[in-house]
Amino acid sequence: MCGIAGIVKWKGEAPRRALMEQMLAILAHRGPDEFGLYDDGIAALGNARLSIIDLAGGTQPIGNEDGRLWIVFNGEIYNYLDLRRRLIEHGHRFRTRSDTEVFLHLYEELGPQALTHLNGQFAVAIWDRQSRRLFLARDRVGIRPLFYTVIPGGLAFASEMKALLLLPEVRREIDPLALWQTFLFWAPQAPTTAFRDIWELPPATFITIDGERMETGRYWSLDFAPADARPTLTLEEASETLQALLADATRIRLRAADVPVGSYLSGGLDSTYVAALARREIADRLHTYAITFREAAFDERRYQDEAADFLGVEHHRIEVDDAAIAEHFPRVIWHAEAPLLRTAPVPMYALSRLVHERGMKVVLTGEGADEFFAGYNIFKEMQLRRFWARDPDSALRPCLLPRLYPYVAALREGGAFTQAFFSRGMQALDQPAYSHLLRWHNGLRLVRFLARPLRESADGDRFIRERIACLQINRRWPPLSQAQYLEVRTFMSPYLLSSQGDRMMAANSVEGRFPFLDHRVIAFAAALPPTYKLIGLQEKRILKRSARGLLPPSVLRRRKQPYRAPIAQVFLGPHAPAYVDEMLSPTALRESGYFDPQAVGFLLRKGRARGNLSETEAMALVAVLSTQWLHHHFVRNFPPALPPLRAPIKRVIIRLP
């Protein structure tokens, strides 16, 4: 993992070296090991490197043989050794053993088509100094971030938006559309970001810019088998194939590292499966890492201990309490660069800090399994609502719904409220976003906390319709596949892999690797019949079958426990941090201008009087507080004082004739 940044000025004054050094300094947490800078008077490319492959020789930026192409790269290419052999056979000469140079030569040979040959996670920039063309690209599902902004006479890009906010041409303003999208979809939806005039390159997308034109292309799209497809493998055959695929996906993620690799071990099926596969490949004792909570409702330490004992790993854990969540929350917003609806990223930040303190740079994790093997309750909810819709007058069918959300008090008891909540739009079965419309419309309830000008200047229903149209859901897919596609595009890529994933790891100079997000595993899962993934209320059917013998029976049998973290008691309890009153005071809210002070004040009084909040109210509290911190960090008090870089910048300076 690295941080990359660049400025290209086709017209006007050349990029300023001092500004590039500031951009690297503000990204130093992503790559503190060494820093590189290329500057030819038109393009300046910078890299803050976390050294993982070719520790001594992989310094970036890297040029090709004749110095025409230069690359900065964030991520890993897991099949780089195979690609390197082929490129050598085609006459390419290498100066390093790094995967970055492999991609540079592959691009030299194939252009953007090179992206289709990669198995990896990456954000990349390549500058062609001869044609004066910039190429930017991002991996298939958006594991690694990449942002850009258009400036007078040029364009700038970076791994994180804070580097772009250093540019004097960029306005430091929060985009109200990002607030609406967060309320509806839980995160800003690419290309929209939290800041005006800064854009996120969507997953599986590349752009080329030559100063006159910007061309965009997609090189991959998620595709599922049509509803009428017949399975080519039995469930048992598919289970064996899946284990082989996951084993290889894990193996190559361990191979592509010249440093030790650890693994997260939450005690759930996904991370335990990955740790089990890694344990078979690592000769030394595997180190695993986990979060625990004092509250039993959030804690999974029993299953973590059973999994660790069964696998024979060296297990480390960190207990996160309310005070720790309150303490880390402001820093988490600095790294997330987006409003949040949950505190769940905060323990993930604390976990990656534990990994860093233990001297580890790389960890395997289980992200992607819930999306591609139907582990989330939203998939079961959809199935149950469709089942209920066949007999809408049934008194028994809706009784199944509260079982999905035992942690939501308002839904736990069932009754008239639950029936009214889940029956909304229940019979609109032909809606392509049927599975998610209930969640998205529930998000509209948060809009009442917006300041009146923001609340009245937009239409949430229109945003939902526009997002559905943009996603182009294939109606030939079965309902479960449509739901999975929506979850990947609207939640996994923009939130799970960003605010809760890359950003929390990168904050502590840790790289995450995700075997379930190997594109071969994704393609295999997408081709499976829905019943291989979800049957009745049994999630991840094929995944559990393929893991037999590798995991302790207790982990295989356990009911899925969604990862959650405390909210209301953290910010409203007797030990709530002082910044809650400071950030949410009427004066502070009026100054930022995003929220209605009266509505927020009522929410605070209600929560403190009751000692708790409903799920929706708790989400609103986090949304308001996180946005206020976003404003504090990036609008009122930016830029911060930047510490000096820990290592000297290695410069490659070429002046064009």
Residue 284 pLDDT level (bands cut at 50, 70, 90)? confident
Q: For residue 237, is pLDDT > 90? A: yes
Q: For residue 417, is pLDDT > 80? A: no
Query: CA neighbours within 13 Å on the CB side: how many for 416?
Result: 0
pLDDT of residue 608: 94
Q: For residue 408, is pLDDT > 80? A: no
- Residue 130 identity: Q
The CA-atom distances, in angstroms, between 268 and each of 179, 274, 516, 544, 551 are: 32, 10, 14, 11, 10
Q: What's the pLDDT tens digit per position in 325-368?
A: 999 999 999 999 999 999 999 999 999 999 999 999 999 999 99
Count how many residues are written for the chain. 657
Find the mean pLDDT for residues 515-530.
Answer: 98
Helix (H) or strand (E) holding 483: helix 479-487
Q: What is the mean pLDDT of the chain?
A: 94
Q: What is the CATH number of domain 235-373+488-557?
A: 3.40.50.620
Report d(CA 470, CA 376) in Å as an integer.
24
Structure tokens that stand for 588 in this block: 């502070």
Residue 262 pLDDT level (bands cut at 50, 70, 90)? very high
Q: What's the pLDDT tens digit per position in 371-388?
A: 999 999 999 999 999 988
Q: What is the DSSP letter of 359?
A: T
Cis peptide before 347 (omega within 30 of 0): no
Higher-pLDDT residue of 61, 558: 61
Report d(CA 507, CA 52) in Å as an integer.
17
> Could you give the residue range(s) of every CATH 3.60.20.10 domain in the chain?
2-221
pLDDT of residue 393: 82
Q: For residue 483, is pLDDT > 80? A: yes
Report d(CA 177, CA 195) in Å as an integer.
9
Q: What is the DSSP string of 250-280?
A: HHHHHHS-SS-EEEE--SSHHHHHHHHHHHH
> What are the backbone angles phi and psi of residue 587, rounded to the nearest 5°?
-65, -45
Q: What's the pLDDT tens digit per position in 556-606?
A: 988 888 899 999 999 998 889 999 999 999 999 999 999 999 999 999 999
Q: What is the DSSP string of 587-598?
A: HHHHHH-SB-HH
pLDDT of residue 34: 93
Residues 133-166 as b/e (b if ≥16 CB within 10 A, e otherwise) read bbbbbbbbbbbbbbbbbebeebbbbbbbbbbbbb
Cβ count near 109 (within 10 Å): 14
pLDDT of residue 426: 84
Q: Which residues contact 157 (CB under 8 A, 6 or more apart)?
A: 4, 5, 6, 125, 136, 146, 147, 148, 149, 164
pLDDT of residue 392: 87
Q: For residue 254, is pLDDT > 90? A: yes
Structure tokens that stand for 623 in this block: 């949304």
Q: For residue 654, is pLDDT > 80? A: no
pLDDT of residue 555: 92
Find the mean pLDDT for residues 419-428.
Answer: 83
Cβ count near 457 (within 10 Å): 11
Do 50 and 513 meet the contact criterion of CB atoms below 8 Å apart?
no
SS3 243: helix
Q: Any bridge partners for residue 513, and if so which?
A: 364
pLDDT of residue 651: 78
Q: Is the dihedral of CA 584, 588, 592, 597 positive or negative?
A: positive
Helices (H) and strands (E) in the chain, counts: 28, 18
Q: What is the DSSP letter of 146?
A: -
Find the mean pLDDT for residues 629-648.
Answer: 91
Do 360 and 285 meet the contact criterion of CB atoms below 8 Å apart?
no
Q: How far is CA 525 from the centre of its chain?
A: 20
Q: Any bridge partners for residue 69, and if so which?
A: 128
Q: Which residues contact 5 (CB under 8 A, 6 or more apart)?
A: 20, 23, 24, 27, 45, 46, 47, 72, 156, 157, 158, 159, 163
Could you tell me which of 520, 518, 523, 515 has the C-alpha nearest to residue 547?
Answer: 515
The CA-atom distances, in angstroms, between 505 and each of 199, 371, 627, 657 are: 22, 21, 21, 42
Three-class SS string for 491-509?
A: HHHHHHHHHHHHHHHHCCC
Q: Which residues contact 656 (CB under 8 A, 6 or more apart)?
A: 40, 41, 42, 129
pLDDT of residue 656: 58
Q: For residue 539, is pLDDT > 60? A: yes
pLDDT over 90 percentage in the chain:
83
Report d(CA 52, CA 596) in Å as an integer.
47
Q: For residue 218, is pLDDT > 90? A: yes
Could you tell me which of 177, 250, 290, 211 has the C-alpha nearest to residue 9?
Answer: 211
Report d(CA 619, CA 141) in Å as an integer.
26
Q: How far is CA 329 from the centre of its chain?
A: 18
Q: For residue 171, is pLDDT > 80? A: yes
- Residue 24 identity: L
Q: State the Cα angle at 321 between 315 and 327, rounded to 5°.
A: 110
Does the structural domain 2-221 have CATH classification 3.60.20.10? Answer: yes
Strand spans (E) along 383-427: none
Structure tokens that stand for 545 in this block: 């079958």
Q: What's the pLDDT tens digit per position in 25-43?
A: 999 999 999 999 999 999 9
The residue behind tokens 């004992």 is 309
pLDDT of residue 425: 84
Q: For residue 87, is pLDDT > 80? A: yes
> What are the backbone angles phi and psi of residue 459, rounded to the nearest 5°?
-130, 110
The CA-atom distances, in angstroms, between 611 and each of 251, 367, 405, 606, 629 are: 48, 33, 21, 8, 23
Q: What's the pLDDT tens digit per position in 511-522?
A: 999 999 999 999
> Could you give the residue range(s) of every CATH 3.40.50.620 domain in the chain?
235-373+488-557
Report d(CA 422, CA 256) in Å as an integer.
46
SS3 179: helix
Residue 61 pLDDT level (bands cut at 50, 70, 90)? very high
